[in-house]
């Protein structure tokens, strides 16, 4: 497993964790408001972006040297 692929997997997992924590914050008791708030929206968008970046890094073909 190459270095970039490992980094991609780590970024992917972090993105998924942030995404799930943001989406489920109220259900698991870490949400401030009983409604889907601004911080949850920001966390959801950030988690989705980090997840996509991790997916791209993981699936991108290794350049042969």
Mean pLDDT for the stretch of residues 53-62: 87
- The Cα–Cα gap between 35 and 54 comes to 29
In a domain, residue 20? The reply is yes
pLDDT tens-place string over residues 27-49? 888 888 888 889 999 999 999 99
- The Cα–Cα gap between 21 and 44 comes to 8
- The Cα–Cα gap between 28 and 54 comes to 25
Domain count, the chain: 1
**Per-residue burial over 6-33, b = 16 or more CB atoms within 10 Å of its CB, e = otherwise:** eebeebbeebbebbebbbebeeeeebee
Q: Is 1 or 13 the better-scoring residue by pLDDT?
A: 13
In a domain, residue 64? The reply is no
Q: What is the pTM assigned to this prediction?
A: 0.83
Domain holding 32, by residue range, is 3-59
In a domain, residue 65? The reply is no
């Amino acid at each position: 497993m190459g270095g970039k692929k490992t980094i991609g997997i780590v970024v992917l997992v972090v993105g998924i964790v942030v995404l799930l924590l943001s989406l489920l914050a109220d259900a698991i008791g870490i949400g401030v408001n009983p409604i889907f708030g601004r911080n949850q929206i920001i966390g959801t968008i950030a988690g989705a972006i980090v997840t996509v970046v991790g997916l791209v890094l993981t699936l991108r073909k290794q350049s042969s040297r």
